[in-house]
Structure 1
Amino acid sequence: MTETTVARWLTVAVGGGSAEDRPVSRHRLVVRVLALALLVAGVVMLCGGLVAQRLADAQAVSTASRRAEILALDVGQPALQDGLVDGSASAVASLDRVVRAHVLGPGIARVKVWNQAGRIVYSDEPRLIGRTFGLGDEEEHALLHGGTHADISDLAAPENVYDRSNGPLLEVDRSVHTPDGTRLLFEVYFTYDDVRADAGRIWLGFAAVTGVSLLLLLAGLVPVIRSLLRALDRGRQQREMLLLRALDASDAERRRIAALLHDGPVQDLVGAGYHLGAASSAVGGTDAADILDTAETTVRGTVQSLRALLVDIYPPALDRAGLGAGLEDLAAGARTRGVPVSVVVDPRVSLSAEGDRVVFRVAREAITNGMKHGAGAPISVGLADEGGATVLTVHDDGPGFDAETLLAKPRNAHFGLRLLRDAVSEGGVQAELSLRSAPGEGTTWRLTIRE
């Protein structure tokens, strides 16, 4: 049993899909620019917000540190007495009055004063006075070398047993000294909710400035976008003008070359054919007559080939009488070479000049391929309007070929296939070229154009 290969349609080329050839959409451009601007603004707001939050937290802590330093040096230190280190009740009471009158208040939960041994010599919580817990390295450094140290308080530590109900606290340490020069550590505990509130207010200020700046930037993009759109319009108009000029120049050059061939070599060869025919008649019946007849046949074949080439270079029927007449010219050229070609054109078909050119070029190359590889089999050309799409089909009943293998290896494709692809991809219209062929099943080309 012989296995039959069923050919299927394969896409060869698609035209009109190149981003370089499509006109720039004003709406799409504006949407993309605004989307990009909003994306950049969002990233800036997010990054700026994170940075502003950190700066606000640092600024709030710095503000609390300066406040604690002022309270320690300007309020607490003048109230210190020498007897405080030894546990003098009067010294403790004197400092307690000052602390409760001028230090404790909204935002401050606790005050402690430590000596170098890590013993609390004063606290507004009397149960802590006289107890020893020790100092950390940073607290000890602040005590011995001066300066201010701020950190989140560890409420799990034993010295903070009475502060756990107050929530997170920010403790700020500042070195002070008694009248006799004894160094003590003045420690103020700020409620962290107030610190966060201060940071929030600072962050809102940063966010407001950033937001207003971004809004002004977006507003400034409006005239830039307008200017860009005007420049795009001018560029498109110039591009269209250059394209029209290039097409006109190409048509003019094609007409010039066609005229030179028609009025020069073609006419000369026609005249030479007449002379050869006359010479053959004059020496009829001799060996020279046979040679002259052969030369005349060759010249006439060359004239036919040149006339077919003239149609390819500049099809006058396509320019004057339309696409149907141009396809008939292509068919007539093939018929002169002994290949029967039939053409059926739907009268409803109406294409732009660019569409006509693409159809003509594809039909020309498909017919040429059919003549070269179809073993002289008949070729049928059809052009129809199929529900908003114009469809060109070129079919030959030749031996066919393995289309899948050929398209899978484009480097090995013959020159005609490359010309067909170029005709579709560079035609400037929305088009798709498909191929169906298999050994023993002939070849069919299908071009679909949507305008």
Structure 2
Amino acid sequence: MSRPTTLAADPSLLGDGRSTERSEVRAAVTRFLLIGLLTLVAISVPVALWIRGQAERHILASATEHTQELADRTVAPLITEQLRAGEPAALRILTRTLAPWLAEGYIVRVKVWDPNGRIIYSDLPSLIGRSFPLPRWSTDLLAGGAERASFGTQREADNEQDYALGELVEINVRSADAAGRPIMFEAYFDDEAVREEQLALTEEITPVFALSLFALQFAQLLPATRLARRIQADQASRRRLLQHAIAASDYERRRIARELHDEVIQDLAGLSYAFAAEETHGPPGERPLFGRARSILQRNLGTLRGMTTELYPPDFALLGLTKALLGLTAPLAGQGIEAIVSLPERIELDRDRAAMLYRVAREALANTVKHAGACVVELALVQNKDRTTLTVRDNGRGFDPDSPSPDGHLGLRIMRDTVRVVGGDLVITSRMGEGTTVVATLPRV
């Protein structure tokens, strides 16, 4: 009886599994952060534009309110019949009244219009008394319409003196003169001062919004990390179970192979020698019987030895994966299956990964022999700087991958989970009547 062996999962594969788990969690958290960052950018850009627009509307509304107050309380009461007639004294009074606002530089130009398009007053004396066509919005404003505020470079005929000032903020409001007649008060503000006020408001609002978004992102990161770690723990448990199952399978194969070799095969070999002796020296009438028995026994011994060889994994350190795979294809010719093999002379794989690819090839070829009804099978092994790929393809009857696992293919699906233990993948593609292809890919380490 062979000595019992302690069953343990291969630590190298478990180590690779843990490394893969950590890298998967890191990748998941990194993806989450990148997606979150892209989301922040995607949200922040339109929101920043919205904040800027809201700030601009707020500043223009504030400027319009101040302009309306200036028109109603300061300018309109001084629009008298004398000022309309262009009397210097009346003009000087209004000029002195507006001087503080103009001196600050915040307001750079003022005009007062009557409904006929005549400029009643302006801080630019050359414009007083001149008439210009009024745009439609001015007519609507004087008739009681909404105030008008805008940014822009002044290009109208009444703004010849203002071309050099560049972009200005133009505010137009309706008021009534001392006699109650409608007038339009037009004020031009330095756009730089208005823009500075807009920027200050934007800078006041934006950080609060940005901090809120980052706080939301951080609040989501913590549960996402915990979830990733929980998934990592579940995957680790599943991988350990799979690896123990593979280790148990290998252990059981070795145990059966040893017991067959050390006990059953040895006993049957001894019995074969006894039959041979009886065939030579026994009673003449019984010699043919012993000869037939010895032949049957030797055939069964050959079968058992073949089973033992299949059960016991090859020594990859001695043979190498290429020779081990060739050993799998060698018996196919005797079963009427042509094997087309493409294997490199030298393959750089550790023992555990070589054993894993060997198991996949063995399972796939066994399915081909038992279930596919194929006459040709292709076996290829390719290795590049990133990965090692094993392909087994047959021209058999195929099967429907969406249907419940047919006999024999369940083993490959178990192998797929096993390959994923070390960060690889196994893909099975098949169509009815078009054969089956099994592709196993392992990362290089």
- Scaled by the length of structure 2, the TM-score of the pair is 0.61
1:345 to 300, 318, 327: 318
The Cα shift of 1:75 comes to 2.2
1:105 aligns with 2:116: no
1:140-289 equivalences under 5 Å are 140-217=139-216, 219-220=218-219, 223-224=222-223, 227-228=226-227, 230-247=229-246, 250-251=249-250, 284=285
Q: In structure 1, what is the equivalent of residue 114 of structure 2?
A: 115
| More displaced 10-residue stretch of structure 1: 269-278 or 218-227 | 269-278
Are the structure 2 counterparts of residues 414 and 402 from structure 1 closer, same or farther at C-alpha, using a change threshold of 3 Å? closer
The Cα shift of 1:128 comes to 0.3
Q: Report the Cα distance in structure 2 between the residues aligned to 1:167 and 1:261, rounded to whole angstroms.
A: 100
Q: In structure 2, what is the equivalent of residue 134 of structure 1?
A: 133
| More displaced 10-residue stretch of structure 1: 153-162 or 295-304 | 295-304
Judge conservation of contact 1:82–1:178 (CA < 8 Å) in 2. no
AA aligned to 2:163 is R
- Name structure 2 gaps, 5 residues minimum: 1-12, 336-344, 359-375, 383-390, 398-408, 425-441
Q: In structure 2, what is the equivalent of residue 438 of structure 1?
A: none
1:372 aligns with 2:332: yes
Are the structure 2 counterparts of residues 259 and 96 from structure 1 closer, same or farther at C-alpha, using a change threshold of 3 Å? same
Q: Secondary structure at the match of 2:161?
A: coil
Q: In structure 1, what is the equivalent of residue 437 of structure 2?
A: none
AA aligned to 1:196 is R
Q: Report the Cα distance in structure 2 between the residues aligned to 1:95 and 1:257, rounded to whole angstroms.
A: 114
Q: Secondary structure at the match of 2:21?
A: coil
Q: Report the Cα distance in structure 1 between the residues aligned to 2:381 and 2:253, rounded to whole angstroms.
A: 33
2:299 to 289, 298, 301: 301
The Cα shift of 1:119 comes to 1.1
The Cα shift of 1:42 comes to 3.7
AA aligned to 1:367 is G
The Cα shift of 1:56 comes to 2.1
Judge conservation of contact 2:377–2:395 (CA < 8 Å) in 1. no
The Cα shift of 1:98 comes to 2.8
Kindly tell me the number of residue pairs found equivalent between the two proteins. Answer: 361
AA aligned to 1:372 is L
Q: Report the Cα distance in structure 2 between the residues aligned to 1:29 and 1:413, rounded to whole angstroms.
A: 40
**Bigger relative contact order (CA 8 A; separation at least 6):** 1
The Cα shift of 1:115 comes to 1.2
The Cα shift of 1:187 comes to 0.7
1:56 aligns with 2:55: yes
Are the structure 2 counterparts of residues 108 and 282 from structure 1 closer, same or farther at C-alpha, using a change threshold of 3 Å? farther
The Cα shift of 1:37 comes to 3.7
1:361-400 equivalences under 5 Å are 365-373=325-333
Judge conservation of contact 1:406–1:413 (CA < 8 Å) in 2. no
Are the structure 2 counterparts of residues 241 and 368 from structure 1 closer, same or farther at C-alpha, using a change threshold of 3 Å? closer
The Cα shift of 1:174 comes to 0.7
Q: In structure 2, what is the equivalent of residue 354 of structure 1?
A: none
Q: Report the Cα distance in structure 2 between the residues aligned to 1:256 and 1:145, rounded to whole angstroms.
A: 102
The C-alpha deviation readout for 1:2-35, integer Å capped at 9, x for no partner, is xxxxxxxxxxxxx9xx999943315555544444
Q: In structure 1, what is the equivalent of residue 3 of structure 2?
A: none
AA aligned to 2:303 is S
The Cα shift of 1:163 comes to 2.0
Q: CA RMSD in A?
A: 5.4
Q: Report the Cα distance in structure 2 between the residues aligned to 1:174 and 1:249, rounded to whole angstroms.
A: 90
Judge conservation of contact 1:57–1:199 (CA < 8 Å) in 2. yes
Judge conservation of contact 2:17–2:236 (CA < 8 Å) in 1. no
Q: In structure 2, what is the equivalent of residue 5 of structure 1?
A: none
AA aligned to 1:208 is P
Identity %: 24
Judge conservation of contact 1:75–1:102 (CA < 8 Å) in 2. no
The Cα shift of 1:79 comes to 2.6
Q: Report the Cα distance in structure 1 between the residues aligned to 2:274 and 2:159, rounded to whole angstroms.
A: 126
- Name structure 1 gaps, 5 residues minimum: 1-14, 328-343, 350-358, 376-383, 395-400, 432-447
AA aligned to 1:171 is E
Judge conservation of contact 1:104–1:110 (CA < 8 Å) in 2. no
Are the structure 2 counterparts of residues 165 and 372 from structure 1 closer, same or farther at C-alpha, using a change threshold of 3 Å? closer
Are the structure 2 counterparts of residues 423 and 311 from structure 1 closer, same or farther at C-alpha, using a change threshold of 3 Å? farther
The Cα shift of 1:144 comes to 1.3
AA aligned to 2:195 is R
The C-alpha deviation readout for 1:327-385, integer Å capped at 9, x for no partner, is 8xxxxxxxxxxxxxxxx938xx9xxxxxxxxx5xx75552131243499xxxxxxxx99
Are the structure 2 counterparts of residues 411 and 261 from structure 1 closer, same or farther at C-alpha, using a change threshold of 3 Å? same
- Scaled by the length of structure 1, the TM-score of the pair is 0.60
Q: Report the Cα distance in structure 2 between the residues aligned to 1:449 and 1:144, rounded to whole angstroms.
A: 79
Judge conservation of contact 1:152–1:171 (CA < 8 Å) in 2. yes
Q: Report the Cα distance in structure 2 between the residues aligned to 1:72 and 1:116, rounded to whole angstroms.
A: 16
The Cα shift of 1:55 comes to 2.2
The C-alpha deviation readout for 1:56-78, integer Å capped at 9, x for no partner, is 22222222122212212232223
